[in-house]
Structure 1
C-alpha cells in the first residue's frame, strides 16, 4: 500500500512534490497500489519510486523522471509518457497499451512480458531494453532506437521494423 504521507504530498501538486524530492533525495517514495488515474503529473520526479501495481490510467507523465522506478504490474494504459525518462525502470508486466512514449528514454528498462499493444514509441530510445515476451503488436516504432534490445518471444505482429534507428536486436533464434 502507498505511504499516505507521500500520497498526500503528491496531491498538493507536482511543484511541491519536486521540491520535496530535491530536499530529500535519499527518500524512496512509496506509491505502491496508489490510485493516480487521470492525474496531471507533467515533469514529476518519480526517480526510484515504488509504483508497483499503481493505477495511472490516462495520467499525464510527460517529461517526467521515472529512471530506476519500480512500475512492476502498474496500469499505464493510455498514459502520456512523451519525453519521459524511464531508463533502468522496472516495467515487468506493466500494462502500457495505447501509451504515448514518443521520444521517451527507455534505455536499459526492463519491459519483460509488458503489454505495449498499440503504444506509440516513435523516436523512443530502447537501447539495451529487455522486451522479452512483451506484446508489441501494432506498436509504432518509427525512428525508435533499438540498439541491443532483447526481443526474445516478443509479439511483433503488425510492427514495421523498417524505419528504426539502430538494428542490433536479440531475436528469438539468438542466444545471449
Structure 2
C-alpha cells in the first residue's frame, strides 16, 4: 500500500510579465522519498494571457480557460464560443446573452450564474454545477 506525504511544488520563477500567476508543478513525494509525477492530472491549465483577455474584452473564443477563477465576473454579451471552461469557477458570473456555443463547461461551478439569453448550443455541461443558475429561458435551475 502506498502512503503519501504532502504535495511538492516547484518554486516558480517570476518576471514582470507573469508575476500575478503561480504555476504549480504537480508532483507528490512518498514517505520513502520517491517522487511521483502527477503532471498528467494537471495538464493544460488555463492560459494566463487568455484570462487577462476575457476579463479585459469579454471575448475569448476558443480560449483555454480550464480551471480559471472567473467567479462573479460580468461577462454580459461575451464571446466564449468553443472555449475550454472545464472545471472553471463561474459561480455568480453574469453571462447574460453570452455566446457559449460549443464551449466545454464540464465540471464547471455555475452556481448562481446568470445565463439568461446565453447561447448554449452544443455546449458540454456534463458534471457542471448549475444549482441556482438562471438558465437561458429565465428559469432557475434547482
After TM superposition, is the score higher than 0.5?
Answer: yes
Distance 2:61 2:19 in 1: 23
Runs of 5+ consecutive residues of structure 1 not aligned to the other structure: 1-11, 20-39, 135-148, 152-167, 169-176
**1:117 counterpart (121, 136, 140):** 121
Q: CA RMSD in A?
A: 2.8
For these two proteins, the number of residue pairs brought into alignment is 103
Matched, 1:18 2:18: no
Instruction: Give the TM-score, by structure 1 length.
Output: 0.51
**2:106 counterpart (102, 106, 123):** 102
The structure with more strand, counted as a fraction of residues: 2
Look up the match of 1:89.
Answer: 93
Look up the match of 2:77.
Answer: 73
Q: Tell me, yes or no, if the aligned pair for 1:97 and 1:116 is still in contact at 8 Å.
A: yes
Runs of 5+ consecutive residues of structure 2 not aligned to the other structure: 1-16, 23-43
Bigger Rg over Cα: 2
Q: Tell me, yes or no, if the aligned pair for 2:45 and 2:67 is still in contact at 8 Å.
A: no
Instruction: Pick 1 or 2: higher relative contact order, CA cutoff 8 A, min separation 6.
Output: 2
Alignment of 1:23-42 (within 5 A): 42=46
Instruction: Give the TM-score, by structure 2 length.
Output: 0.63
Distance 2:119 2:112 in 1: 17
Q: Structure 1 residue runs of 4+, over 6 Å off?
A: none
